[in-house]
């Protein structure tokens, strides 16, 4: 990536999470596998939610202190 200045490069790198730094160092084939797996899980979850087969329970947590 081309940065405007060195300061811009430092700022951009300091705002990246540890996961994104690690993910950016992976080879392209492993990135493609990870993205494909994420899409598969996401589409599968969306299909289960659309059909209503995932869960009918609604969880509600109330943390009230007196």
Tell whether the model's pLDDT for residue 65 goes beyond 80.
no
pTM of the model: 0.56
Q: What is the pLDDT of residues 4-42, one digit of tens each?
A: 899 998 888 888 888 888 888 999 999 999 999 999 999
SS3 of the chain: the string is CCCCCHHHHHHHHHCCCHHHHHHHCCCHHHHHHHHHHHHHHHHHHHHHHHHCCCCCCCCCCCCCCC
Q: Is the pLDDT reported for residue 58 higher than 60?
A: yes
Flag whether pLDDT at 45 surpasses 90: no
pLDDT score, position 60: 66
Give the per-residue pLDDT at 47. Answer: 86
> 12: Cβ–Cβ under 8 A, 6 or more apart, which residues?
1, 3
């Amino acid at each position: 990536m081309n940065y405007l200045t060195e300061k811009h490069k430092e700022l951009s790198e300091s705002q990246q999470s540890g996961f994104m730094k690690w993910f950016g160092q992976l080879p392209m084939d492993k990135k493609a596998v990870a993205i494909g797996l994420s899409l598969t899980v996401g589409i599968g979850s969306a299909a289960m939610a659309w059909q209503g087969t995932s869960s009918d329970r609604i969880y509600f947590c109330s943390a009230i202190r007196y």
